[in-house]
Amino acid sequence: MLGKKVVLVAFLVAGSAVLGGEAVEPRGDASGSGNIRNPHPAFVIRVEVDKPDRVYFEGETLEARIKSSRDGYLFLFNYRPDGTVWCIFPNSFQRDNAIRAGEEIVVPAPEAPFVFQICPPLGQEVLQAIVSVKPVEPQQLGVFSLTEAQSTQLLPDRVKVICPAEKPQEWAEHQIKIETRPKTQKKPQEHKPRRISLLIGVGRFTDSHIRQLRSPANDVDRMEKILREEGRFDELLVLKDEEATYAAIRKAICELLPSKAAPGDEVILYFSGHGGRCADDNGDEADGLDEYLVPHDGQYVEPWQDPKALRDRMILDDTFARWVQELDGRRLVVVIDACYSGGHSQFEKGLPILTKTPIRFDFADDIREELSRVKNLGQEVILFASCSAQEIAVECREKPLSVMTACLADYIEQTPAPVTLRQAAEHTAEAVRDYLQKHYQGLTQTPYLVGEEAAEQFCVKPLAF
């Protein structure tokens, strides 16, 4: 049995090191740290730390845990407040950086003869895990070895060697921000969870080949009113039609929401609009196809002709799942009122396929599989979707709203508090079925909920304060 561990202060301390014969000094600027992203990963990984709020005080110790959905080779980097970059895995105790699918790796290992202690410089830091399906030699990172010390300093640009942009299927990444503070600073009071929502409705498109929709903007207006007045949400962010470009949606999910919602906060991400299907080009889909949501500036092409063009202009299922990872640590609900069919009815929320044979498919059903990967790694995401695969989501005949959104909003508004998401979802599914039997004979639409236990704890209509 090991004796008292030696406290390693090199993990969070400035300094210089010799890398390939070149001295590396702190840059004093961490503004660009941890900005490597893979927008189209073929698998997912997750890094988390042992404090849910991710706030550490000087003298405290930190432990990181990493999982991957695919076998590969793991690297864990710490981007410091002073602009330096340190590889903390592999290290002198954990020399083998192979990781197996579903395996959890703890850094530092519980039996390691050292711990990672918080020391100056202090401020905002980034922990980024990268898994490559192929091994990467230390020399490619500009060092002779990564396993001679508990951590190894690198030139910031060297990290990109592991992440070839032209081969997104060969690597995946995930990062989290942590805050390190002086021990003399007053510890914050217990965080009271805030409630924040991002509502996206896209029914108007720049591409004339994409049919305009009447309901998404109205869906957003209805949900915004319900969440504000009945759900008592602290802040609601809205993107409608021309505002909901690809870049704006990405920024809202990946940057704006994480900046406003701290770990432990409750977040609802709602989308109403169009979608489509294209060929899978990174090998992560069993049926060889990806599905996508359509932003305002999305450009439609034949599904199997130009997958790269679609991938650059549409929000693919694996891209969406990766964006959702930026909200790790929050209690997250994703609501998708959209389906995609080969029909041309004005009441179908689907993108016409310009082929002779109608094709029916469902982004929500596909994203369920994508989000299940994230959930399997420990990130809790509740999904409430408008229909199952092979079904279409329809709009109300008597008013410009989607049927599922109308039923969901009506139930929340008319039912006395408290109302859990599970209650609302179960009632909505019944109400949608009844509506279709009355107004759309011969069609079925079956809303479904993924994450029932968590949904039972998520209150969409809380008691008044």
Q: Are residues 206 and 67 in the same domain?
A: no
Q: pLDDT tier at 400 (50, 70, 90 boundaries)?
A: very high
Domain boundary among 129, 156, 181: 181
The answer to whether residue 300 is domain-embedded is yes
Q: Does position 346 have pLDDT exceeding 90, yes or no?
A: no
244 lies in the same domain as 387: yes
Q: Pick from 181, 212, 229: which residue ends a domain?
A: 181
Would 16 be classed as within a structural domain? no
Task: Give me the mean pLDDT over the 162-188 stretch.
Answer: 90
Q: 158 and 238, same structural domain?
A: no
Of 413, 414, 450, which Cα lies nearest the Cα of 429?
Answer: 450
Tell me the C-alpha to C-alpha distance, in Å, between residue 55 and each of 47, 174, 352, 448.
15, 18, 49, 36
Does a structural domain hold residue 310? yes
Q: Is residue 14 assigned to a domain? A: no
Residue 102 belongs to domain spanning: 22-181
Give yes or no: residues 351 and 429 share one domain.
yes
Do 346 and 253 share a domain, yes or no?
A: yes
Residues 386, 291, single domain; the answer is yes
Per-residue pLDDT band at 42 (split at 50, 70, 90): confident
pLDDT at residue number 290? 57
What CATH number is attached to the domain comprising 41?
Answer: 2.60.40.2550
Say whether both 319 and 256 belong to one domain: yes
Amino acid 282: pLDDT: 45
Average pLDDT over residues 400-409: 96
Say whether pLDDT at 236 is over 90. Answer: yes
- Residue 208 sits in a domain whose CATH number is 3.40.50.1460
Q: Kindly report, residue by residue over 427-449, the tens digit of the pLDDT.
A: 999 999 999 999 998 888 999 99
The band of 162, judged by pLDDT with boundaries at 50, 70 and 90, is very high
Chain-wide mean pLDDT for the chain?
83
What pLDDT does 17 receive? 32
Using pLDDT thresholds of 50, 70 and 90, give the confidence band for residue 377. confident
Q: HEC string of the chain?
A: CCCCCEEECHHHCCCCEEECCEEECCCCCCCCCCCCCCCCCCCCEEEEECCCCCEEECCCEECEEEEECCCEEEEEEEECCCCCEEEEECCCCCCCCEECCCCEEEECCCCCCEEEECCCCCEEEEEEEEEECCCCCHHHHCCCCCCCCCCEEECHHHHHHHCCCCCHHHEEEEEEEEEEECCCCCCCCCCCCCEEEEEEECCCCCCCCCCCCCCHHHHHHHHHHHHHHCCCCCEEEEEEHHHCCHHHHHHHHHHHHHHHCCCCCEEEEEEECCEEEEECCCCCCCCCEEEEECCCCCCCCCCCCCHHHHHHHCEEHHHHHHHHHHHCCCEEEEEEECCECCCCCCCECCCCCCCCCCCCECHHHHHHHHHHHHHHCCCCEEEEECCCCCCCCEECCCCCCEHHHHHHHHHHHHCCCCEEHHHHHHHHHHHHHHHHHHHCCCCCCCCEEECHHHHHHCEEECCCC
Instruction: Please report the pLDDT score of residue 190 as a whole number.
Output: 72
| Mean pLDDT (whole number) for 169-198 | 89
> What percent of the chain lies above the pLDDT cut of 90?
61
| Domain final residue, candidates 150, 181, 212 | 181
Are 170 and 206 contained in the same domain?
no
Does 202 lie in the same domain as 103?
no
Find the mean pLDDT for residues 284-305. Answer: 67
Note whether residue 322 is domain-resident: yes
Same domain, 214 and 145: no
189 inside domain: no
State the pLDDT confidence band at 232, using cuts at 50, 70 and 90.
Answer: very high
Which has more confidence, 398 or 17?
A: 398
> Does residue 58 sit in the same domain as residue 110?
yes
Question: Poorest-confidence range of 1-5, 104-108, 161-165, 419-423?
Answer: 1-5
Check whether 350 has a pLDDT greater than 60. no
Taking residues 253-261, report their average pLDDT: 95
| Nearest Cα residue to 150 out of 106, 96, 114, 105 | 114
For residue 355, pLDDT beyond 50:
no
- Which pLDDT band, with edges at 50, 70 and 90, does 111 fall under? very high
Residue 303's pLDDT band (cuts 50, 70, 90):
low
Per-residue confidence at 33, pLDDT binned at 50, 70, 90? low
Please indicate, yes or no, whether residues 329 and 238 belong to a single structural domain of this protein: yes
| C-alpha to C-alpha distance for 329 and 261, rounded to whole angstroms | 10
**190 lies in some domain:** no
Q: What is the pLDDT of residue 283?
A: 46
Type of residue numbered 357 = T
